[in-house]
Structure 1
Amino acid sequence: MTAVIHLIDTLVYAVRLSGVTTRRLATAYSLFQIISLVASTANLIQAPLLSSVVERTINTGLHGSPMALVESPFYQQQLQQLCKDIRLVIFSATAGTFLGVLATPAFNYIFTRVIFLFEEAGSIPRLIIFLSSPRLLARTLRKRPGYLKVLRSSLPERPRNIPLAFLAANTLVIGIWTTGVLSALYAGALLPDYRSTASLLSGLVNGVATILSAMIVDPTAAMITDQALRGTRDQQDVRQMVYYLCLTRVLGTILAQALFLPSAYLIKEVAQFIAGQAHYHPAAIT
């Protein structure tokens, strides 16, 4: 599920390129919302599954040692295994992102044709009927260039014309978003008495990414896209931006491996502070 979520989140970059190519950016994003429903559904199922892994670790530790839970060597072994499991989840995010990068050129081509087909159909139900017809589907995909040709055409053909700070910020944003919830869940295992507090503090980590995204990543990407739509900027810059965004997204999921434990311990400390304040000042809660 993690791989599917990150694969779809990567393909959204191709949607921006398709929107600029067809000059139908609003339509492109609207159609992509149908595909993103798959990622949303996977997110709904993934969250309780991840929580159950943490709960199982805590419950196993409770039944496996008569000592204080956190001080128990047996529980420490369970924490090590949980750490490995979560790192595997982060790796699946990298794998899904990489698959999304490989699929981006072909998806861009197909999605561009679907945008025009949607204009012909006039509605989503009719579009679905069109795409379910082998004849119409073959017509939509006819004269499709070879994958290697499409992939080569997606590579930047000139020096980078995209701000370096924009790319660095996107790497950091993806890294934080990839590990935010996972770090909070692991912090709950490190602090089992206040695991609900720790789990709900994932916003503390993700908040940093949200600020960076709102101040640097999103405005810059929107500006480059709008300039290309107005004709004041070459469309190749959008293609180049998509290429670098895909690259930094992969790097961001790799960076998440390094951010995972520091973020978990930060959330643990904040949860302990909040729990201490609530204990000594219960009126503050009300």
Structure 2
Amino acid sequence: MELITGKVIIIALFILIIHSIETLAYAVRLSGARARLLASALSLFNIMVMFSRLSNMMQQPFTGSLIDNAPPENTLQFVENQFRFILGSASLGTLIGMLLLPTFVAIFSRAIIHLVAERGSIPALFKKGISFEYLRRAVGHIRKPRFSYLRGIGLKDVPKRLFLINVIVTAVYTTGVFSALYASLLVPEYKTTAIMASGLINGIGTMLLIVFIDPKISLLADAVINNQGSYVHLKRASIMMMSSRFLGTLFAQIIFIPASHYVAWFAKFIG
């Protein structure tokens, strides 16, 4: 049976889009601070988040079908290889988001200003954005990623605790659904319980993100807007968080199987 099928590639593309958008979430505050319109920036970014959530919902049935269609021989290894390939697309998507940072900040900052000019009307902004003139201007805002963008950023600027927490949270969030699905193969008698545990895992990951990560970055953005902080400092923090997120997607490969066994144990414990 073929390992990398068209279905696996489609799922990988969905995961790539999800992680690219979620990586660029760290750049939203950069654009908002640059335009001094943080609330408008977050509101506009919710449109991109909507596409991310839609992609996530669309990939889940496809991912579940990989379990249903797995061959009866060597099932665990076959599914593991497929899931590791998909998890690799999470790392690639995060990397793409990091490379798009300069371009995203430039274009998104302009989009925020136009959103205000259109009195907060997303349809009007979208209509203007797809016009030839504005698409031509957008091309002019494309920025190649350069090492000079990292100028002034050193290890001493990295808050070790926050960096580590973001690595762990990202790893848990990235592997949550896949570990739960894999656990359903480990304990087939409790497969429904194991699969449903993915919501709990992602919920915990999201809660940790909201409690420990988001407030720190938002505080830096507010300080820049109120002329009490440095834009360079905010940029350093954003790049640092993107880097830790990338490492988190790699760490997800390491904890994938252990997390699956933990979910399997949990399913049996409550079953």
TM range (shorter): 0.7 to 0.9
Aligned length: 256
- In structure 1, the partner of 2:5 is none
Separation in 1, partners of 2:29, 2:173: 21
Deviation (angstroms), 1:257: 0.3
Contact 2:40–2:116 (Cα < 8 Å) also in 1 = no
- Secondary structure class of the residue paired with 2:112: helix
Q: Distance in 1 between matches of 2:98 and 2:197?
A: 31
Aligned pairs for 1:59-208 (under 5 A) are: 60-61=71-72, 74=73, 77-122=74-119, 123-139=121-137, 142=140, 144=141, 146-148=143-145, 151-152=146-147, 154-159=149-154, 160-208=156-204
**How far does residue 5 in structure 1 lie from its aligned partner after superposition?**
0.8
Q: Tell me if 1:48 matches 2:49.
A: no
CA–CA separation in structure 1 for the residues paired with 2:66 and 2:108: 37
Residue 146 (structure 1) shift: 4.7
1:9 aligns with 2:22: yes
* Distance in 2 between residues matched to 1:200 and 1:111, nearest whole Å: 37
Report the equivalent of 1:225.
221
Letter of the aligned partner of 2:58 in structure 1? Answer: I
Q: CA deviation at 1:214?
A: 3.6
Q: CA RMSD in A?
A: 1.9
SS, match of residue 147 in structure 1: coil
- In the alignment, what sits opposite 2:10? none
Q: Which letter maps to 1:101?
A: M
In the alignment, the residues of structure 2 paired with residue 208 and residue 133 of structure 1 have an alpha-carbon distance, to the nearest angstrom, of 42
Query: How far 1:104 moved relative to its partner?
Result: 1.4
Checking the alignment, whether the CA contact within 8 Å between 1:174 and 1:253 is kept in structure 2 is yes
1-structure distance, mates of 2:225, 2:161? 23
Residue ranges of structure 2 left out of the alignment (5+ in a row): 1-13
Asked whether the 8 Å contact 2:102–2:143 carries over to 1, the reply is: no
Partner of 1:269: 265
Counterpart-to-counterpart distance in 2, 1:132 and 1:207 = 36
* Partners of 1:208 and 1:22 in 2: CA distance: 33
More displaced 10-residue stretch of structure 1: 203-212 or 239-248:
203-212
CA deviations on 1:228-273 (whole Å, 9 max, x unpaired) are 2222211111100111111111100000001100100001011111
Q: 1:229 to 1:49 in 2, by over 3 A?
A: same
Aligned pairs (5 A) from 1:209-220: 209-220=205-216
> What percent of counterpart residues are identical?
34
Moved more, 201-210 or 5-14: 201-210
CA drift at 1:100? 1.0
SS at match of 2:100: helix
Deviations 1:90-127 (A, max 9, x none): 00111111111111111111111111122223322221
Offset at residue 158 of structure 1 (A):
4.3
Q: Any idea what SS the aligned residue of 1:184 has?
A: helix
State the distance in 1 between where 2:143 and 2:55 align: 31
The verdict on how the C-alpha distance between 1:225 and 1:193 changes in structure 2, with shifts beyond 3 A counting, is: same
Q: Which amino acid aligns with 2:152?
A: E
Q: CA deviation at 1:204?
A: 4.4
SS in 2 for 1:92: helix
Structure 1: state its 5+ residue gaps. 62-73, 276-286
How far apart are residue 136 of structure 1 and its match? 3.5
1:29 and 2:42 correspond:
yes
- Secondary structure of 2:157 counterpart: coil
Compared CA separation, residues 146 and 33, structure 1 to 2 (3 A) = closer
Which of these two proteins has the greater Rg computed from alpha carbons? Answer: 1
Relative to structure 1, the CA distance from residue 203 to residue 26 in structure 2 (aligned partners, 3 Å threshold; closer, same or farther) is same
Separation (CA, whole Å) in 2 of partners of 1:91 and 1:239: 26
Give distance in 1, aligned partners of 2:206 and 2:143: 38
Contact kept in structure 1, 2:103 and 2:143, CA below 8 Å: no
Cα pair distance change 1:193/1:30, threshold 3 Å: same
Structure 1 window deviating more from structure 2 (85-94 vs 158-167): it is: 158-167
